[in-house]
Amino acid sequence: MRARPRISSVLFFAAIAAYVFIVLGILLTVVLDSLSKGWYSGILPPYLTTEWYKYAANDHDIPSLLSVTFTVVIADVLVALLIAFPAAYVLARQDFKGKGIVLSLLLLPMIVPPMTYGIPLAMLCYIFHLASKVSGVILVNLVPIVPFMVLVLMPFIEQVGANLESAAKMLGASRWTIFRRILVPLTLPGILTAGILSLVRAISMFDLTYLVAGGKSQTIVVALYADAYAAGARPPQAVDALAVIYFLIAMVCLIIALRFVSPTQMVFKLK
Amino acid sequence: MRSEASKGGAFTLLLPALLFIALLFLYPFGYGLFLSLTTAKGQPTLANYARFFGDARDLRTVWVTLQIAVPITLINVALAVPFAYYMRRGMRGERAITFFLIVPITLGTVLVSEGMLTFMGPAGWLNQLLMALRVVKEPYRFTHNYLGVVISLGIQGFPYAFLMLLGYVSGINPDLEKASQILGANRWQTFWKILFPLMVPGIAISFCLNFVMAFSVFPSAVLLGQPSGPTRVIAIAAYQWAFEKFNFNAASAISMMMAAIELIVISFVLAWRSKMYKGASMVGKG
């Protein structure tokens, strides 16, 4: 009986160690490769250089990539909050006919493959002259973010007792006052969590952005994919340099995010 | 709360979300369905679907995608169950472990694929290690093939399944386990008779979401696989028809097939779930 947990813990930690080795290996080789020259064999590169970053900076309009990326991510989070919060409030508080239908409609974009609605959505963006524009990229990326936000917000709103609102209403507070003085302060942790989690997700969202973005509306992840796809058009180290820039942004956001949320919240729990 | 006025209020509050789903999801979806059933000039036709079923190269993508998506989803979930079980009551270093699990999810497919090309390439650290340990004599090919795509889906899919299941397992009331042991069940019996049935909803949902992710694999199938043949997945076929051949009708038919196949698989899983769940009516503490 006593030997069994030991074997299982050895297996557990061996597997975790292997996983961490792969993740760290992937990240460290990207970073080292972007700083290396003539690294064809051996554990470490023979020379270190920063020239690939200069190459990447000449190759791409990096300030534009960064500003587009942050514009898209921040705009998506704010717009999604405005759409998701009222919906999450109603879904958390009230029972009404068709609630199940509304909820499953909202969750449907999570189950349908992005290509399925992404291709006609991209086509519609072309028709309405939104393609290759930052506004188009913001619009399409709302589709996966809003349902996610509703799911994250609902439990937080459920936690706030409805009687506080009734009490405020009896004391003559208007809807707006209740919203501003009771609902927002009490659900602030939820709003923060939903915002941060969506922000971290939005940075790496690729599929839909790729279908709509082009030219001046490229986000950094789309530029990175295009570079990696056209391997041979530029040295692999230069692609890695762009990858490191993207990696740093995503990691800074993740580390800031983890001060407010726990990693398990990154994946939601469905009922 | 249940006055007529608040019902109207509820609808007003739901309105932005309903408009959002109608305009950005249902409308494009319906438009895609319409495109798939019409010619470029808008005449109704089934030719787009007929073309798909008649084109061996495109039809093969269904099989190719399933061959990638089904095994790796099963592996991810099958691995996640014991790991989540092991960590159900928390442990030392849990935060560090979950941090490393969340990193590949945060970084996204493109960076993971790009990094795998170097790390798992012929001169990469992984092959150097395997050769130093004398596991292989020559560098093993991990990338630009089926294996590369599957590994990338594992690196991202496993943490997803694991963290999701962890949420379910740690929510099960520990008293149930204690009670089962007091009644004389051993660990094995406790797991299969008590915990596993309670985990089934979580397993079903993490399987579905993992499968959705794997089945719509796109960037890593291009970067890490052989997109011209062995890993030409269905998403690549749809993309090529839309953005390389500019035939949105044919592309929409393929993407509708993609959704149909996925929904079939998901409904099988949910049917399994409802069959299993009847056995255990006890609900764990949430």
Taking only the tens place, the pLDDT of each residue in B238-275 is: 999 999 999 999 999 999 999 999 999 999 998 988 88
* Partner A contacted by B109 (CB < 8 A): yes
To the nearest 10 degrees (0 to 180), the angle between helices A62-93 and A184-203 is: 140
pLDDT given at position B249: 96
Total domain count for chain B?
Answer: 1
Judged by CB atoms closer than 8 Å, whether chains meet at A109 and B103 is answered as: no
* Partner A contacted by B242 (CB < 8 A): yes
Most confident of A141-145, B118-122, B171-175, B229-233: A141-145
Which of B28, B102, B114 comes nearest A120 by C-beta? B28
Minimum distance, in Å, between the CA of residue A136 and any CA atom of chain B = 11
What are the phi and psi torsion angles at B215 (to 5°)? Answer: -70, -30
Tokens of B11: 């609808």
Q: Identify the band that residue B169 occupies on the pLDDT scale cut at 50, 70 and 90.
A: confident
Q: Which amino acid is at A140?
A: V
Tens of pLDDT, residues B125-154: 999 999 999 999 999 999 999 999 999 999
Q: Residue A143's closest CA among A118, A176, A169, A177?
A: A118
End-to-end CA, chain A: 36
pLDDT given at position B51: 95
pLDDT given at position A165: 85
Q: CA quadruple A212, A218, A223, A224: dihedral positive or negative?
A: negative
pLDDT given at position A270: 57
Minimum distance, in Å, between the CA of residue B21 and any CA atom of chain A = 7
pLDDT given at position B2: 45
In a domain, residue B212? The reply is: yes
Domain boundaries, position B258: 55-277
Residues B223/A228, Cβ–Cβ less than 8 Å: yes
Q: Identify the band that residue B284 occupies on the pLDDT scale cut at 50, 70 and 90.
A: very low
Q: In chain B, pLDDT over 90 holds for what percent of residues?
A: 66
B158 vs A contacts (CB less than 8 Å): 19
Q: Residue A247's closest CA among B107, B101, B100, B156?
A: B107
Q: Is the pLDDT of residue B278 over 60?
A: no
Q: What is the mean pLDDT of chain B?
A: 89
Tens of pLDDT, residues B18-41: 999 999 999 999 999 999 999 999
Residues B257/B52, Cβ–Cβ less than 8 Å: yes
**Three-class secondary structure assignment of chain B:** CCCHHHHHHHHHHHHHHHHHHHHHHHHHHHHHHHHHCECCCCCECCHHHHHHHHCHHHHHHHHHHHHHHHHHHHHHHHHHHHHHHHCCCCCCCHHHHHHHHHHHHHHHHHHHHHHHHHHCCCCCHHHHHHHHCCCCCCCCCCCCCHHHHHHHHHHHHHHHHHHHHHHHHCCCCHHHHHHHHHCCCCHHHHHHHHHHHHHHHHHHHHHHHHHHHHHCCCHHHHHCCCCCCCCCCHHHHHHHHHHCCCCHHHHHHHHHHHHHHHHHHHHHHHHHHHHHHCCCCCCCCC
In a domain, residue B82? The reply is: yes
Search chain B and give the residue with CA nearest A9. Answer: B86
Judged by CB atoms closer than 8 Å, whether chains meet at B215 and A15 is answered as: no
CB pairs under 8 A between A and B: 250
pTM reported for the whole predicted model: 0.90
B98 vs A contacts (CB less than 8 Å): 262-264
Give all domains of chain A, ordered by start, each with its CATH number: 3-49 (no CATH), 60-266 (1.10.3720.10)
* Partner A contacted by B250 (CB < 8 A): no
Tens place of pLDDT for every residue, chain A, 271 residues? 444 557 888 888 899 999 999 999 999 999 999 998 878 778 888 888 899 999 999 989 999 999 999 999 999 999 999 999 999 999 998 888 889 999 999 989 988 999 999 999 999 999 999 988 999 999 999 999 999 999 999 989 988 888 888 898 889 888 888 888 888 999 998 999 999 999 998 998 999 999 999 878 999 999 999 999 987 788 889 999 999 999 999 999 999 988 888 777 777 655 4
Tokens of B61: 């993508």
Q: Please state, as a whole number, how many other Cβ atoms lie within 10 Å of the Cβ of residue B160.
A: 22
Judged by CB atoms closer than 8 Å, whether chains meet at A25 and B125 is answered as: yes
Q: Angle A184-A188-A192 (CA atoms, 0-180°, nearest 5)? A: 135
In a domain, residue B28? The reply is: no
What value does the mean pLDDT take over residues B183-198? 89
Tokens of A242: 């762009």
Tokens of B187: 């660990």
Q: Please state, as a whole number, how many other Cβ atoms lie within 10 Å of the Cβ of residue A132.
A: 16
In a domain, residue B39? The reply is: no
pLDDT given at position A261: 83
Minimum distance, in Å, between the CA of residue A198 and any CA atom of chain B = 11
Mutation site for A-interface testing, chosen from B62, B97, B125, B190 by largest number of A Cβ within 10 Å:
B125
B163 vs A contacts (CB less than 8 Å): 263-264, 266-267
C-alpha distances (whole Å) from B112 to each of A51, A87, A234, B126 are 23, 35, 19, 15
In a domain, residue B138? The reply is: yes
Kindly report the CATH number assigned to the domain that includes residue B181. 1.10.3720.10
H or E stretch at A83 = helix A62-93
C-alpha distances (whole Å) from B150 to each of B72, B138, B155 are 6, 21, 9
A4 vs B contacts (CB less than 8 Å): 187
Tens of pLDDT, residues B90-109: 888 888 888 898 999 889 89
* Partner A contacted by B108 (CB < 8 A): yes
Which of A33, A225, A269 comes nearest B164 by C-beta? A269
What value does the mean pLDDT take over residues B65-94? 92
Search chain A and give the residue with CA nearest B114. Answer: A228
Q: Is the pLDDT of residue B174 over 90?
A: no
Q: Is the pLDDT of residue B4 over 60?
A: no
* Partner A contacted by B61 (CB < 8 A): no
Minimum distance, in Å, between the CA of residue B183 and any CA atom of chain A = 18
Search chain A and give the residue with CA nearest B257. Answer: A116
Residues A125/A136, Cβ–Cβ less than 8 Å: yes
